[in-house]
Structure 1
């Protein structure tokens, strides 16, 4: 394939992803679905015998590209969240109730359920089955835009939406957005546990190290670095004494990317989880001056970069599918993927949200239909590809080709199923919420 053809394909794909959201708002067709379809077609074209799209030949490239894509998305969703988390207020913590439930109940249950499927259905070794569960458990901030919050709410936009009768907060979208932002980092301890088991087993000393360092220490460092970076960047952007350093007044949105790279790099250097640091940094930066229009400017530049990275990843994923990525997929992989998307995640989400639920009339409360929606829309995506890439570049993993085929197939199933159902489901819930509000 010539350079001109590559540029042509990229340009047309970018055009499609730019135009599609504006012309298909009421159609069950998402940009990720279209991009994967384009990639499938492109993969059938002659690319040259020297180009390999097999994941085993591109482990480092896959890991770094998906890593940066997830990082950009984490910064975007963190900047978009409007709900305040005041660590000194119990009421504020309770308003995040569905997020804590999804993180502390749904995610471990999903890991356990997927691990059992990998061990019982697929016949994987326990360590490999655990790795499969950890890789597929986190929901994705990259491909879930249809069920996540939109742009950050600023004072001018809030006034316009209040005038139009638009609800400022949405517990469904908020819960799914915050879950995707936080669980991408919280999956790491289980990936590390699987790697420890693959490296030769785990005794009492290794178990203590895992709990003390990989679970507690690295999470705490990631959160601390992220919150500190968010506070410092927020002070510099909005409250610097020197007006020349006040980037919010200048409207320079690249500060968001500087914050992303700095928080991630700092967290990784001290041993913390960088994904958690980036999301926490974004939330901290967002809370520095919530109503300022600069928040939307930063979110816009991050969103555009995310769109470009998603374009690249999904095109390559589609191309790889027609060039051998699914060669090792069998009935076991199909069964694991369908069971995860249709049974394990919805059931785990329902258990977390429906048992002793928060009053639906309060912030963080969900009615039965909203519980079903949040439970179902656990989108799998780029994060799963990253975690598998990370694992296979750090340890020899048995059944690696089967894992790549199964994880890729799971992502495609999620893209198609959730892409088709997201628009009509959310429209129906929004319409019902509007009717309920009108009656109230």
Structure 2
């Protein structure tokens, strides 16, 4: 009789490794809270390189199989994204004004669909992906990343939103992670039901596009109001203080769980909830304290996930990468995003240098890994090895290129604000 013990042992080993990586990140964050140099080495770059070095050591490391066990990476990246969405939402001082959303609405309504379509086409035409896998690639690589974009995001709560560039990139990253879900589900529908739209188009539009987006937003509004009321309106016992970390975790988990219970998009609910909470007593110092703990959680998840990506690079995830795929990857990062961004700003009164900076910083990262693991978990996609290779290659290149260039470019152009 076959013993199932090795399966549990293997899973426990993954957990032990995760705890080891978390410990490494925590120790580094404690000992060297400002790892990065003045301009060039960001914390994602540092942890990515450290991950490569750690997994090169003669230690019996094991990582979950990306195709056979995608749920493990899905859960880790899922938590990393929702923590980052809370942090992004709490940074926005005026989350419901046209000043805040004017430029980013162009990115969400024009740049994102163009990016999905162009990436899917390049994946099919240039990388040789079948249609379902090409559509998934477009959905996976369309959203910019709230986890790795700290160097281009707006200031902490209470500080003025002086930079329209930073504010635009923050609001874009806050919502486009949730808005990538319908297109990921579109790829899943094509993988399961085929290319005939009659088999899935009505359900996709009604449920995945309209219902889940609208209900996710409503859940976020309700949860944000509930949390704000509980914290600021109910009389407090002098001897009972709500710890910042406890409330930050509630701000992460409550809207996400509520949205998932009604089968809507948790990413949208989390970001909207944080924005709503930000408007409740916006000058209260508790806003900054909660945000600071969310940043701590975000830094922890960022470090862990960069170490894991470094491990996959060592373990040969790029073995399936071909020269056409590399060319497509660079085109997605440095042609598709900038061009689609500039198209979105046609007719905008933003200065030209701001349009260029916003269009350039389409940072890819943890959100892309989440969507790919989610898609592969939900359906069988042909050429999944190639999808992982392209996605992780693009994430690694984005971490390096955007990371190195973020500080000098943002410092230079901030003087022109």
TM-score by length of 2: 0.91
Deviation at 1:351, TM superposition (A): 0.8
Gaps of 5+ in 2: 1-12
Pick from 106, 109, 112: which aligns with 2:114? 109
CA distance in 2, matches of 1:367, 1:17: 38
What does residue 59 of structure 1 align with? 70
1:218 aligns with 2:229: no
1:119 maps to 2:124: yes
Q: Aligned residue for 1:97? A: 102
Instruction: For residue 327 of structure 1, report the CA deviation from its aligned partner.
Output: 1.5
- Deviation, 1:9, is 6.7
Matched with 2:279 is 287
Kindly state the Cα deviation for residue 99 of structure 1 after the two structures are TM-superposed: 1.1
Q: Does 1:233 align with 2:244?
A: no
Say if 2:58 is the partner of 1:46: yes
1:26 paired with 2:38, answer yes
Once the two structures are TM-superposed, the CA of residue 130 in structure 1 deviates from its matched residue by 0.7
Structure-1 separation of matches of 2:308 and 2:34: 24
What's 1:188 paired with?
Answer: 181
Alignment of 1:293-304 (within 5 A): 293-304=285-296
Which residue does 1:208 correspond to in 2?
Answer: 202
Give 2:152's aligned residue. Answer: 147
Provide closer, same or farther for how the CA distance between residues 129 and 102 of structure 1 changes in structure 2, counting only shifts above 3 A.
Answer: same
CA 1:47–1:251 in structure 2 vs 1: closer, same or farther (change >3 Å)? closer
Structure 2 CA distance for aligned equivalents of residues 246 and 197 of structure 1: 57
Offset of residue 356 of structure 1: 1.0
- Could you say which residue in structure 2 is the equivalent of 1:132? 137
Partner of 1:343: 335
Specify whether residues 405 and 23 from structure 1 end up closer, same or farther in structure 2 by C-alpha distance, changes over 3 A only.
Answer: closer
Q: Is the 8 A contact 1:106 1:348 kept in 2?
A: yes
* CA deviation map 1:134-174 (0-9, x unaligned): 00100000001100023111xxxx5xxxxxxxx64321111
- Offset of 1:344 from its aligned partner? 0.3
Deviations 1:346-389 (A, max 9, x none): 11111112x1103xxxxxxx311111000000100000000000
Equivalent-residue separation in structure 2 for 1:72 and 1:168 (angstroms): 21
Q: Is the 8 A contact 2:35 2:46 kept in 1?
A: no
> Structure 1 residues 12 and 152 mapped into 2: Cα distance closer, same or farther (>3 Å)?
same
Q: Secondary structure in 2 aligned to 1:56? A: coil
Unaligned runs of at least 5 residues, structure 1: 86-91, 159-166, 359-365, 434-440
Taking a change above 3 Å as real, the CA distance of residues 54 and 229 of structure 1, as seen in their structure-2 partners, is same
8 Å CA contact 2:193, 2:199 repeated in 1: no
Residue in 2 that maps onto 1:259: 251
**What's the CA shift for 1:217?**
0.7
Residue by residue, what CA displacement relative to the aligned partner does 1:176-205 show, whole Å, maximum 9, x if unpaired? 011011000000000111111111224336
Residue 200 to residue 4, structure 1, CA distance change in 2 (3 Å): closer
Structure 2 counterpart of 1:268: 260
Q: 2:164 aligns with which of 160, 163, 171?
A: 171
Residue 244 of structure 1 and its aligned partner are, at CA, apart by 3.2
- Deviation of 1:45 after TM superposition, in Å, equals 1.3
Contact 2:85 2:146 in 1 (8 A): yes
1:321 to 303, 313, 316: 313
SS at match of 1:244: coil
Report the Cα distance in structure 2 between the residues aligned to 1:8 and 1:108, rounded to whole angstroms. 40
